[in-house]
Amino acid sequence: MLYYISRIHILVSLSSLLVFFGGIYIYLGHSIPSFSVCPDNGWRIGDLTMQTGLKYAQPSTQNGRTDVNSVTNWNAPLVWEGTFDPVVIDAIYKKMDPRVAVVVFAVGKYTRFLKGFLESGEKYFLVDFRVTYYIFTDNEQDVPKIKLGKGRTISVVTIPSAKRWQEVVLGRMKWTTITIDKQIRNEADYLYMMDIDSVFHSRFGAESLSQLSAVLHRGYYKNTQRDQFPYERRAESKAFIPYDEGDYYYTAAVWGGYLEDMYKLVKYCYTQSEEDAKNEIEAVWQEESHLNKYCVTFHCLVCSGFCCCPFFKFPNSCSSFPASLFYLSVFVTFPNPVFLKYLHQ
């Protein structure tokens, strides 16, 4: 009995000493590094440092954006264009040299969009970062030969054809989950899901590298009331959201984050879709509905809609041109920290 009492006393005393000296350490101006591990290559949030000697504009505490909301109602900062320095943010992440996976599906006639997506991605998407484009397709011979930058590759994943576009959409969750388990987990630190019928119009940089990121739907980001969001409203579906719940409406055209966080989210959408299928119901907007359910449940994503804008320039020949344009990114950060993606025209 005395042995266990003295042992407990020793442990308590040691803990008290650690807390005491830790307080002194912080008081003297030192910082405690974060222990949030970024996937598998060993770096941590605390490793987000910038090399000395970098030249950049001095930040201001007085001047900034006043035309947009800068914080969510759960106290997450909204980081818009103009609130970060691309020179600084790129320098920080280039030092870490993360591996970025981009997952796109080009099934059937959608292979026609590959060339525009890849060429514009090479011009604007995370330039000078390591990027692998994972192209899921049923027509490998239609994947174009594109000149890629240093450290950038294409990996083709063959999948079955689909009869309906809804099957392609739902299949994205299934095949991405399977391929992360079999391949991508060993090759990437971050993962993005993107629509192939899109082109990059301007910079899409390291400000998007975050624990989780998503984009507010361009049609519902500004003045739409929550009861008007196109959430799944049927209680029979796993994606069901009542009319009096919800914060924002997210598009499934662009979303990304740490590999393992994205794996959890993609697998969630897949398993929830499978449960719906067992009950002979399909969510109104397929995985986008389940994505929004996840965001409402876990409060982890918030974003604005001008990153993914419809291509309205050629209304008489829309089938020949991309459905979306990716514009400059604007992001939201969470206190934990999580970055949430916003976009600005």
| Active-site pick, 81, 207, 232, 288 | 288
Residues 6+ apart with CB under 8 A from 24: none
User: Any catalytic annotation for residue 288?
Assistant: yes
Q: What secondary structure does DSSP assign to 232-299, as a single string? A: B--TTSTTB--TT--S--EEEEEEEEEHHHHHHHHHHHHHHHHHHHHTT---TTHHHHHHHHHHHHH-
Q: In what order do the strands lie in the sheet with 308-310?
A: 198-200, 324-326, 308-310
Residue 235 phi, psi (nearest 5): -65, -20
The DSSP letter of residue 161 is -
Phi, psi of 211 (to 5 degrees): -65, -45
* 251 close to 217: Cβ distance less than 8 angstroms: yes
Residue 150 per-residue DSSP state: T
What are the start-end ranges of the E strands in the chain?
78-79, 99-106, 130-137, 152-158, 190-194, 198-200, 212-216, 250-258, 308-310, 324-326, 329-334, 338-343
3-state secondary structure at position 186:
helix
With DSSP H G I counted as helix, E B as strand and the rest as coil, what are the percentages for the chain, rounded to 5?
35, 20, 40
Query: What span, in angstroms and rounded, lies between the C-alpha atoms of 257 and 100?
Result: 9
Q: Which residues contact 158 (CB under 8 A, 6 or more apart)?
A: 137, 138, 140
CA 342 to chain centre: 11
14: left (phi over 0), alpha (psi -120 to 50) or beta: alpha
Catalytic residues: 288
